[in-house]
Amino acid sequence: MDPQQPSRIRWQIVGLLFVISVVTYVDRVNIAVAGKLMMPEFGLSAVQMGTVFSSFVLGYALFQIPGGWMGDRWGARLVLAAAVLWWSLFTVLTAAAAHPLLSSTIGALGALLAVRFLIGVGEAAALPNFNRTVADWLAPSERGVGMGISIGGIGFGSAITPPLVAWLMTRYGWPVAFYVTGGIGLLVAAIWYGLARDRPHEHPRVNRAELDWITQAAPAAPATDSPSPPFGALLKRPSVWFLTLSYTMLGYIAYIYLSWFFLYLVNVRHFTVLQGSFWAAGPFLAMAVGCPAGGWLSDRLTAHYGHRIGRAGVGGSGLVLTAGFIYSGAGVDDPYAAIILLSLGAGILYATAGAYWASTIDLSPHHAGALSGLMNMGANLGGVVSPTLTPLIGERWGWPVALTVAAGVALIGGLLWLGVTDHEERSA
């Protein structure tokens, strides 16, 4: 290899993050599809199933900050491997909800609530440690697209899950779907630990040119034994709260797609299970394209016009456009037009992801894991609400009203970006 040409190991690391991202959403969305058979088998109502969805999000939200702090403290290589192992095991155990021992003691609903909560606890470490990895492995000019590619696995994983789980559960039964998806995660955990490193200089295949590129104009990364992040100082910064509140709005909307879009197509738009599993991929494919494209755009605009345009501009305008597409999709009569409009809304929603996550690095590069955990906790508190509130609104006033509420939430999220004005970590 020409010593003057940088190696590209950093993009291999990003590729591994993409794969883990796919797994997180396979294991998150699988129950939204399998729920079609689980609900009648266990006698669960739509609202009860919504509480199962919300139990995952509750565990996911509560452990965001601890998961990010552990990555800052011990490094993303170990923490991510342990997290993937944890949630994959509990994904496999989801099938045990049908076991008579559980159903006769805490009941199937109680078993599902407990297992999904524990899956959420494990997955909570994922995205904050993606951000920790991106902060350590990518140059400042690459962080938006790096997180965009990483989070793009959300869309791909969510797109392949409905047809995969629908095929498995109709052919072999819904428990097999959880055995297969959980088993994939166990393999990915081993691959990540074997190939990844916490810092570029620890990787034997990173050459000096790539190391110099990564560290260009970047603050020195903290050692893995650094003390706890100064949350008191971070919480005094208004931009942190505006960013977190805006991401809370994004989370409310995202979990409608993740929890209810497939069932919305089947129960409200009257598609068959297999048809619904096919068309339900639309929003998630749009997310897979929107994530890296939005991250790239955010990086380019930031380089030319600064953080205010490149981060806040992309984030705020994206949420406003999302509101428009969801509102239009909620009211249109043609089911295929609804799928197109709602899918575009999802794609633009996730096109803002790179701006959000790169902004946490901009605000505090030394504590990117913990601070992004704080932000993502907000998103998932929003996600605790929407899986249960949305069917309640839908049953009482109709699904067009439920989706119109989501459009209003997106508009609020876009306006909150106006308060994100402090993009650079201040000197001590």
DSSP letter at 56 equals H
As a whole number of angstroms, the distance between CA 290 and CA 302 comes to 18
Q: Provide DSSP, 318-364.
A: HHHHHHHHHHHHHH-SSHHHHHHHHHHHHHHHHHTHHHHHHHHHHH-
Maximum mean pLDDT: which of 45-59, 89-103, 226-240: 45-59
Residue 385: what pLDDT?
85
Residue 358's alpha-carbon distances to 96, 171, 304, 373, 375, in angstroms, are 39, 43, 16, 13, 12
**Greatest mean pLDDT among 12-16, 152-156, 385-389:** 12-16
Angle at the Cα of 248 from the Cα atoms of 427 and 328, rounded to 5 degrees: 130
369: tokens are 């894991």
Burial 360-370 (b: 16+ CB within 10 A, else e): bbbbbbbbbbb
User: What is the reported pLDDT for 170?
Assistant: 82
Confidence of residue 223 (pLDDT cuts 50, 70, 90): very low
Closest CA to 32 of 217, 149, 169: 169
pLDDT at position 109, please? 84
Residue 221 pLDDT > 70? no
Q: How far is CA 259 from CA 67, 157, 264, 280, 391, in A?
A: 23, 14, 9, 11, 10
Between 3.20.20.150, 1.20.1250.20, 3.40.50.720, 1.10.150.120, what CATH number should domain 9-216+228-419 receive? 1.20.1250.20
Task: Give the Cβ contact number of residue 383 at 10 Å.
Answer: 28
What value, to the nearest 5°, has the Cα angle with vertex 51 and ends 47 and 57?
A: 140
Kindly tell me if the per-residue pLDDT of 203 is higher than 70: yes
Q: What 3-state class would DSSP assign to 75?
A: coil
Q: What is the largest CA-CA distance in the chain?
A: 67
Residue 153 binned pLDDT confidence (cut-offs 50, 70, 90) = confident
Q: Which contiguous run of DSSP H or E holds residue 143? A: helix 143-172
Given a cut of 50, whether residue 396 has pLDDT beyond it is yes
* Low-confidence winner among 78-82, 95-99, 277-281 (lowest mean pLDDT): 95-99
- The torsion of the CA quartet 378, 142, 368, 413, rounded to 10 degrees, works out to -20
Which three-class secondary structure state does DSSP give residue 5? coil
- Identify the band that residue 79 occupies on the pLDDT scale cut at 50, 70 and 90: very high
* Cβ–Cβ under 8 Å, residues 38 and 169: no
Query: Amino acid identity, residue 70?
Result: M
- Please provide the DSSP assignment of 285-328 as one string: HHHHHHHHHHHHHHHHHHHHH-HIIIIIIHHHHHHHHHHHHHHH
- Residue 86 vs residue 387, higher pLDDT: 86
Contact at 8 Å (CB) between 184 and 23? yes
| Residue 1 confidence (pLDDT) above 80 | no
Stretch among 68-82, 186-200, 214-228, 403-417 having the lowest mean pLDDT = 214-228
The band of 427, judged by pLDDT with boundaries at 50, 70 and 90, is very low
Measuring CA to CA, which residue among 80, 10, 6, 14 is closest to residue 292? Answer: 14
pLDDT digits 0-9 by tens, 225-265: 444 446 567 777 888 899 999 999 999 999 888 778 888 88
Q: How confident is the model at residue 410 (pLDDT cuts 50, 70, 90)?
A: very high
E-strand ranges in 87-132 read none
126 or 29: which carries more pLDDT confidence? Answer: 126
Domain boundaries, the chain: 9-216+228-419
Q: What is the DSSP string of 215-265?
A: TTTPPPPPPTTPPPP-HHHHHT-HHHHHHHHHHHHHHHHHHHHHHHHHHII
